[in-house]
């Protein structure tokens, strides 16, 4: 979900925005994390477990998709809370 939210935010603000590079870096880190997790699953899951893993991943993705806007709002509110807690100044547009 984080990768999709970051992709949407980055597309929305565009490359001219001061936070675009930061979002790109965070997105790249998230994509590396996804690849690492996928690679790890490929290595540790036995052939007998593939069907159960596929069902589990399908269910996880369905739950994740159901949070759509709610998840994005949650991430926004978490960022806002951090900004308020640490006194960061708003980014210049």
Mean pLDDT of 71-93: 72
Q: What integer pLDDT is reported at residue 93 of this predicted model?
A: 47
Per-residue pLDDT band at 2 (split at 50, 70, 90): confident
Q: What integer pLDDT is reported at residue 49 of this predicted model?
A: 94
4-37 pLDDT tens trace: 888 888 898 899 988 899 989 999 999 999 999 9
- What's the token pair of residue 13? 């603000």
Dihedral sign computed on CA atoms, order 60, 5, 80, 35: positive
Q: 0.75 exceeded by the pTM?
A: no
- What's the token pair of residue 21? 């590079």
Per-residue pLDDT band at 92 (split at 50, 70, 90): low
Q: What integer pLDDT is reported at residue 89 of this predicted model?
A: 57
The secondary element (H helix, E strand) that includes residue 45 is none
Q: What integer pLDDT is reported at residue 29 of this predicted model?
A: 94
Mean pLDDT of 77-91: 74
């Amino acid at each position: 979900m984080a990768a999709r939210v970051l992709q949407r935010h980055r597309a929305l603000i565009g490359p001219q925005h001061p936070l675009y590079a930061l979002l790109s870096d965070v997105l790249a880190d998230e994509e590396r994390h996804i690849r690492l997790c996928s690679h790890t699953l490929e290595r540790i899951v036995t052939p007998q477990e593939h069907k159960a893993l596929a069902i589990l991943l399908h269910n996880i993705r369905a739950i994740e998709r159901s949070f759509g806007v709610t998840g994005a709002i949650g991430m926004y509110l978490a960022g806002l809370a951090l900004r308020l807690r640490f006194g960061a100044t708003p980014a210049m547009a």
